[in-house]
Structure 1
Amino acid sequence: MKTVIAGGTGFVGKELTNELIRHGYDVTILTRNPENKKEEDCLHYVKWLADGAEPEAVLEGTDVFINLAGESINSRRWTEERKQRILNSRITATREMVRIMKALKQKPKVFINASAVGIYPSSDMDTFTESSNAAGSGFLSQVVNIWEREAIEADKAGIRTVLARFGVVLGTEEGALPRMALPYKIGAGGKLGSGQQWVSWIHVWDVARAIRFAAEHEAIEGPMNITAPNPVRMNDLGKTLAKVLGRPHWLFVPEPALKLTLGEMSTVVLDGQRVLPDKLTQAGFVFQFPLLRGALNDLYPN
């Protein structure tokens, strides 16, 4: 199938691109600078979100549109300017993807738009699935609500739309895990805040596989949680990571210290939700890494 990806050179995008090409997909990545990219037989680059860009002119016949674009939420402290950039980057990319799809004579079969489990409220007790109506009230929840409303415009245009709500994606190159692992590698790992906050995690390879699964299964539409079926408490994640790395788990970083250091961005660490991937499991998706220890052993082999 012919597939277009926005954000295809990012953390998840690179894994997804490799996964799709391995399974016979022809992949086109939308980028502001296609001139700097090397094309291959099944990998192409098209200019977008830049002066003179008309990607729709060369994207007729595309079956799958996937939007992973958006500025990272955990790379720097959240100033008001930074928060606006996080929101605007998602709105801009999603609106442009929808515009391109509407401009095509032949509409794609499916639009998969990245989202996040941050749409659910923070809770130490509740469990959330795609059928949960509860919504959070913080910055991330607000961003995800606006983001999903933009994506739903594709559904209104008659395109099957999947809202891929990512949990904490685990990989060794980018994302949250390298930052989590660093304190352990220097012997300073331990409990963060209460340690009871839930972490709904997923191995990056399972993310790529889940997105391909959604593209190929027409019954999947609307919200889809992309999380492993066995979320863990933050303190248990730390203990498991310590065992895999062969390092101690002893240092306690209290909540006030995290808030002082990270500001509002501390909610990424201190807040959590127990989120289950009901839609994927009910559709028959089989996780390669359903348990945290297996995922970490794969990412940090001895």
Structure 2
Amino acid sequence: MKKKVILAGGTGFIGQYFEKQFKELGYDVKHISRQPQHISWNDKAAIIDALENGELLINLAGKSVNCRYNEANKKEIMNSRLETTKILGESVLSCKNPPQLWINSSTATIYRHAADRPMTEANGEIGSGFSVDVATNWEKTFYSFSLPKTRQIALRIAIVLGKDGGVMTPYMNLVRFGLGGIQGSGNQMFSWIHVEDLFRIVLFLNKREDLSGTFNCSAPEPVSNREFMKKMRKAMNMPIGLPSPKWLLEIASVMIRTESELVLKSRWVLPERLEREGYRFTFNTLDKTLQDIL
């Protein structure tokens, strides 16, 4: 019988990459999503059926945060994460043979704006504001389920870099049009991870049956925004890059319907637990990562 992995909400950039990799490893991949060709979030029986005898459940569901934080969007960002996590938890409890491991997304944005020191699982300080409320409620909902047969792991994922989509597309466009200078002060930290390492971390945690709980998923060498943009320009052979001061970003983010927080917040996150448990990053430096992607 084929090994089975269930991807919930896996229709975006990360989910598509995961699906391809799992299929190459010979897995049967089941999808739960709002897209008509997949198992619907409203069909509890079909979800339970998909989860039965599954090896691994990975939840990536949730409305993109790349939008304006008006009341309607805020509600949808929050509810799309909490409701899907609840549905999955109840469905896992209803299984006779539930998946052995449930990995739920969380976000490295859960930590405060950190310009003074890096945040680890042990000593990271939880921040405040809407994005943080989303992350803390998401984790709380996930851990509210007590599942006797299923290990639970939450991944606090940094900004994911990879080919064919994700955040690389807008950054590449900025550089291409000569706008690849610093954003804001340029001193804010940029924690990142290559999508391939994210996938390998999932495989690593799947094998390690002794591990559960929360893990930071970010490469061990975060950089400042200044350093990131400099390396992007170098990799794309673009000698000039005009800076974007904070006031300009505020105006631009209204025009392109997003939030300036996405580039101005200092995310300084280290993967202390993963490294301690013996995970070795394939893409541990930004140079290696950009070389691979660009």
Within-5 A mapping of 1:110-125: 110-125=101-116
Equivalent in the alignment of 1:182: 173
Give secondary structure in 2 for the equivalent of 1:28.
strand
- TM-score using structure 1 length: 0.90
- TM-score using structure 2 length: 0.92
Q: How far did residue 220 of structure 1 move?
A: 2.3
Q: How far did residue 53 of structure 1 move?
A: 5.4
Per-residue Cα deviation, 1:131-163 (whole angstroms, up to 9, x for no partner): 125110021111000000111133x22331111
Q: How many aligned positions are there? A: 288
User: Does 1:69 pair with 2:61?
Assistant: yes
Where structure 1 has 5 or more consecutive residues not aligned to the other structure, the ranges are 37-44
Q: How far did residue 173 of structure 1 move?
A: 2.1
Q: How far did residue 129 of structure 1 move?
A: 0.9
Give secondary structure in 2 for the equivalent of 1:134.
coil
Matched letter for residue 61 of structure 1: N
Root-mean-square deviation (Å): 1.8
Equivalent in the alignment of 1:130: 121
Equivalent in the alignment of 1:42: none
CA distance in 1, matches of 2:23, 2:224: 35
CA distance in 1, matches of 2:58, 2:107: 15
CA distance in 1, matches of 2:243, 2:213: 40
Q: How far did residue 33 of structure 1 move?
A: 4.2
Q: How far did residue 235 of structure 1 move?
A: 0.6
Equivalent in the alignment of 2:70: 79
Check whether the contact 1:119–1:141 (CA below 8 A) recurs between aligned residues: yes
Check whether the contact 2:120–2:216 (CA below 8 A) recurs between aligned residues: yes
CA distance in 2, matches of 1:49, 1:13: 16
Q: How far did residue 63 of structure 1 move?
A: 2.0
Equivalent in the alignment of 1:92: 83
CA spacing shift, 1:273–1:260, aligned 2, 3 Å: same
Check whether the contact 1:195–1:233 (CA below 8 A) recurs between aligned residues: yes
Equivalent in the alignment of 1:14: 16
Check whether the contact 1:20–1:212 (CA below 8 A) recurs between aligned residues: no
Matched letter for residue 290 of structure 1: N
Where structure 2 has 5 or more consecutive residues not aligned to the other structure, the ranges are none
Within the candidate set 269, 274, 283, 2:263 is matched to: 269
Q: How far did residue 51 of structure 1 move?
A: 5.6
Give secondary structure in 2 for the equivalent of 1:251.
coil
Within the candidate set 125, 134, 143, 1:152 is matched to: 143
Identity, % of aligned positions: 33
Give the strand-richer structure, 1 or 2.
Answer: 1
Give secondary structure in 2 for the equivalent of 1:230.
coil
